[in-house]
Structure 1
Amino acid sequence: MFQGNAEEAMHFYTTLIEGSEVVMINQYGPNEVGEEGSVKQAVFSLKGQEFMCIDSNVQHEFTFTPSFSIFLTCDSEEEITDLFSSLMEGGEELMPLADYSFSKKFAWVVDQFGVSWQLNLP
């Protein structure tokens, strides 16, 4: 649930991750409860996994938290390094990109939209 930038976030993610696409966007029209042009409901796919998102038409005090993360398994060192760099632009590092006992390379970041990502290279 985004606060007015769901479409921007979807396009950002699908351009970063190979094999990803925006599947469907349904926007609010005139005289509907949400702001005209904002996302009423949308579906996007990251490496074949579908996600649904909306722009909340209600202002609220909460946003995304690290208790929800998109866990993405990368196929190469180049992919994990590029994704880490791109997601860190305007974001925050929770665990640095490094070799951990459970993974060859792993990182945990919060991106510019507040979404938490766990990037893994097995």
Structure 2
Amino acid sequence: MVFEDDARVNPVVRQFFTKSGDKSLKETLGRLADSHDKFEWNLLNLGSCLGTCHDREYLNISLPQPVKIAVKTNPYCTVAYIVSRKGAELLLKEVKSKGLQAADRGLRRTEKFKQVTLEPRLF
């Protein structure tokens, strides 16, 4: 998990998870991270501010309403996200060969890098 220094929990979204039975933020983050086992994403953005996809598609995952995980959103902000092991390996390989890329450039904008976004944002 990666958090920028100004990441703050969205209390409204956190309350959706609390009402569904999550006792802590750690439990909520664990539940979200576990979605990787089924959907094999490389990066789950928890604090997306913008995206380029207007026709949203959502993963079929049990989350408290109205929370969803959207695919192919191409978010710009990276205030908080969870990276899978494979996602981290791909990002490190890119950094080694091309240097550090902005979130709206490079590997994260390709089809081979599976990035998904939590909506509404948790951070």
TM-score in terms of structure 2 length: 0.29
More helix by share: 2
Larger Rg: 1
More strand by share: 1
